[in-house]
Structure 1
Amino acid sequence: MRYYGPDGLRHNAPVTYERKKDAELALSKLAADIARDDWFDPEAGKVDLGPWGRDWLAERDLAKTTRERYEFAFHGYIEPTFGNRPINEVKEKDVRGWYAGMLDTGAGRPSAAKAYRVLRAMLNTALDDGMIKRNPCRIKGAGDDKSPERPVLSIDEVLRVVDATPPRLRMMVLLATFTSLRIGELAALTRRNIDVSTGFVTVVENQAQLSNGELYLKDPKSAAGRRSVPVPDDLLDELKQHLAEYAEPGEDGRVFVGPKGGKIRRQNFRKIWIKALSKAKVRQVHFHDLRHTGNQFAADDGASLRELMERMGHSSPRAAMRYLHVSKGRSREIAVKLNARLRDARPKPGQDSLGHAEGTEAKKSSEIEGIDSLESGPDLQKHDGGDEGT
């Protein structure tokens, strides 16, 4: 059976019907789909996902690091399973099996979530282009990164690590904690981004690194990423000393450089960081956990959701919300204040509910009742009347 689609072209029916009645029924359904603007070309989806996905990636305007992550997810996880499969033949059960297989074969939850998001984005485009009628990526929560809760260092642990870090890099540890800057933002800082007179550090760029080792500067992820963060007053003298001794000269001079004057590289800095943790006898944590620690310090000290978002450089409250859980210390402080409110409202020992000393209220009441009886009793009325009569 053949029919004319809304594009004006003749199309073959998806199957061959043995009975004329079945063909007429299918034709009626196709006509109804066209009338509802719900028709799609069944031939359009008969394209293998592999070559189509490579074209999809090439057409995207992506940052270098984002493109690298997308390509890794596509070539490493998506293409091996679906590369030779026509797009319109990828079904929900296929996606469920693929996702479970990633986890079963050792892919971490974050890696599986990234790959799932890339496949879902690709098939959303296929849906928009009329290649499929429904996106088969329908696993609830599969695209969410559910990383374990990151550790928070104590202030004593932070200062021990600072002391164990080479002097030229100590300010990196302090600013990562007390201004919540990321390592890429710290590596990109120049003298013009530091205003010691007002005590603010301004983030305008982020240093990124590709898997081949190439370093480059990029804009923050969002407008909120461009921000100015205040430095605690007690760190300003140390910051001035760092700029005088270790930063490159000139307004465009980098604030942080390596021992030999090179740019800060993650893999090189990681070696220094691990050594400092061991020397300070602090458990092994990521450098990025200093940002998490500083955010938690700010939340514990009363920072609002909006203040945390601005400090972190986030436009969405989702990430900031994690720091607003109540710590045990803060919970006890709240309980103490509530207890004081309760104590002030309750009668003191030896007082009744109105605050009177026990045993005095009843006496006062009887005295008042006696006065009332004198004022309104018949003896007083007679006396008043007699006075008035004379």
Structure 2
Amino acid sequence: MPPKKRRFGRVRKLPSGRFQARYRDPNGTDRPAPHTFPTKTDADRWLTAVEADILRGTWRNPDLGRVALGDYLTEWIDQRPNLRPRTVDLYRWLRAKHIAPRLGARLLTDLTPGVVRAWRADLLADGVSTTMTAKAYRLLRAVLNTAVDDELIRRNPCRIQGAGIERPTERPTATVAQVFQLADIVPGRLRVLILLAAFASLRYGELVALRRRDFDPRCRTLTVRATLVERQDGTLTFGPPKTDAGLRTVTIPAAIRREVRIHLNDFVDEDQDALVFTGATGAVLRRSNFQRTSNWRMSVAAVGLPGFHFHDLRHTGNTLASRTGASLADLMARMGHASTRAALIYQHTTKERDEHIASGLSEQIKNGRDRARSGHGQRKKR
């Protein structure tokens, strides 16, 4: 009895002994399966699944995903709306440095979970930090999510649990005394820059974008209205803060208000639009200029903080603010965060707070044992 003829597609045995499946798509194009099969049964099952997709209307044209990842990623970055300039720079750098060299020539349809796992493992084996690897993985995952939306691929192959989570090492914090020691070492026109970074929790870009009009007459508050963005090509741009939450008014601690007033009087032009912090010639204070003028590396080492970054001043201020008992919402408002993720870092239990909790528990244990010894709360004898 001759074998029953298939209603959909056809299968033939190749000289190699493997089996090839072919079918006509909804447009009438004759298509082969993307690979051969070890048995005729396997080929039949594959054709049955394709037929079911066509009947359900879920069949995808396999040619749609035949786009090189490198090209698709470039277009994705260029066409992404509302990306901040430095984010664009970061994405282009990640593409050129960590994604394109290994995956750029691969077609979207050729990206599998195994390929992605191998790519990530290679990055880590080559000494790329876990933080930078997580950034590259998150970018790849976002791009391939768009490819799914564009119906170029069926599923996102980035499925490594936790691979996109950054776990940076804990940054150091300075003591209040060390902050003032550092402020004493740097040139006088940079002194208040140090103090506001630490005690007003401002980012570097926010500080160097401050203008005289951003301070109230008594320097009780300052208002963050802009930030300075320095691109990788050296271009400087004044723009809005990172998020809407970045537009905020911050109360300046009374202990440093006098120093702020002195700085405005001694180093800032009377024009309300004058920048509060500038270079020696009055130009915008670039990061490189600040690092050189402050002799940053030697200055932080001199106060016992080798390897201390400028951003660690903000981290110090945020930590000090959390110790005041501020709520999560209060911390978010002061730091200019739109989400709770970063602010929650400063809600972690400090050693001092943990000792306070342990002390309270100890008191309760003591009181409970004292009551037991005095006959209160003893179990009845059977």
> How does the TM-score come out when normalised to structure 1?
0.82
Contact 1:224–1:310, Cα closer than 8 Å, also in 2: yes
Seen in structure 2, the aligned counterparts of structure 1 residues 141 and 340 have a Cα distance that, compared at 3 Å, is: closer
Residue 287 of structure 1 and its aligned partner are, at CA, apart by 0.9
User: 5+ residue gaps in structure 2?
Assistant: 1-21, 377-382
* Residue 235 of structure 2 corresponds to residue 211 of structure 1: no
Residue 250 of structure 1 and its aligned partner are, at CA, apart by 1.2
Secondary structure of the corresponding residue to residue 157 of structure 1: helix
Secondary structure of the corresponding residue to residue 195 of structure 1: coil
* Residue 274 of structure 2 corresponds to residue 233 of structure 1: no
Which amino acid in 2 is paired with 1:204? R
Residue 98 of structure 1 and its aligned partner are, at CA, apart by 1.1
* Residue 68 of structure 2 corresponds to residue 40 of structure 1: no
Give per-residue Cα distances to partners, 1:167-206, cap 9 Å, x unaligned. Answer: 1111111111111000111011111211143711111211
After superposition, the CA RMSD in angstroms is 2.7
Moved more, 54-63 or 99-108: 54-63
**Count of aligned pairs:** 350
Task: Please give the alpha-carbon distance, in whole angstroms, between the structure 2 residues aligned to 1:16 and 1:293.
Answer: 58
Secondary structure of the corresponding residue to residue 65 of structure 2: coil
Q: 2:283 aligns with which of 262, 266, 286?
A: 262
Task: Please give the alpha-carbon distance, in whole angstroms, between the structure 2 residues aligned to 1:206 and 1:304.
Answer: 26
Which amino acid in 1 is paired with 2:337? H
Moved more, 53-62 or 132-141: 53-62
Task: Please give the alpha-carbon distance, in whole angstroms, between the structure 1 residues aligned to 2:374 and 2:116.
Answer: 71
Q: Which is higher, the Rg of structure 1 or of structure 2?
A: 1
Which amino acid in 1 is paired with 2:59? W
Secondary structure of the corresponding residue to residue 216 of structure 1: strand
Question: Between the two proteins, what is the percent identity of the paired residues?
Answer: 38
Please give the residue correspondences for 1:173-252 in structure 2 after superposition, counting only pairs within 5 Å.
173-197=194-218, 199-252=220-273
Q: 1:133 aligns with which of 154, 171, 176?
A: 154
Q: 1:274 aligns with which of 254, 272, 297?
A: 297
Task: Please give the alpha-carbon distance, in whole angstroms, between the structure 2 residues aligned to 1:106 and 1:336.
Answer: 44
Task: Please give the alpha-carbon distance, in whole angstroms, between the structure 2 residues aligned to 1:29 and 1:352.
Answer: 78
Give per-residue Cα distances to partners, 1:132-159, cap 9 Å, x unaligned. Answer: 1111111122212211001111111111
Seen in structure 2, the aligned counterparts of structure 1 residues 352 and 83 have a Cα distance that, compared at 3 Å, is: closer
Q: 1:14 aligns with which of 23, 26, 33?
A: 33
Residue 338 of structure 1 and its aligned partner are, at CA, apart by 5.5
Match of 1:317 in 2: 340
* Residue 94 of structure 2 corresponds to residue 73 of structure 1: yes
Task: Please give the alpha-carbon distance, in whole angstroms, between the structure 2 residues aligned to 1:305 and 1:217.
Answer: 29
Task: Please give the alpha-carbon distance, in whole angstroms, between the structure 2 residues aligned to 1:11 and 1:48.
Answer: 24
Residue 24 of structure 1 and its aligned partner are, at CA, apart by 6.8
Seen in structure 2, the aligned counterparts of structure 1 residues 332 and 258 have a Cα distance that, compared at 3 Å, is: same
Task: Please give the alpha-carbon distance, in whole angstroms, between the structure 1 residues aligned to 2:46 and 2:272.
Answer: 73
Give per-residue Cα distances to partners, 1:269-320, cap 9 Å, x unaligned. Answer: 1231223223434433001011111111111111111111111111211111
Contact 1:164–1:280, Cα closer than 8 Å, also in 2: no
Task: Please give the alpha-carbon distance, in whole angstroms, between the structure 2 residues aligned to 1:29 and 1:342.
Answer: 66
Secondary structure of the corresponding residue to residue 44 of structure 1: helix
Task: Please give the alpha-carbon distance, in whole angstroms, between the structure 2 residues aligned to 1:352 and 1:90.
Answer: 73
Q: 1:112 aligns with which of 125, 133, 141?
A: 133
* Residue 121 of structure 2 corresponds to residue 100 of structure 1: yes
Q: 1:326 aligns with which of 349, 355, 365?
A: 349
User: 5+ residue gaps in structure 1?
Assistant: 355-390
Moved more, 288-297 or 128-137: 128-137
Residue 28 of structure 1 and its aligned partner are, at CA, apart by 4.0
Please give the residue correspondences for 1:81-96 in structure 2 after superposition, counting only pairs within 5 Å.
81-96=102-117
Match of 1:383 in 2: none
Contact 1:153–1:293, Cα closer than 8 Å, also in 2: yes
Contact 2:218–2:261, Cα closer than 8 Å, also in 1: no
Match of 1:370 in 2: none
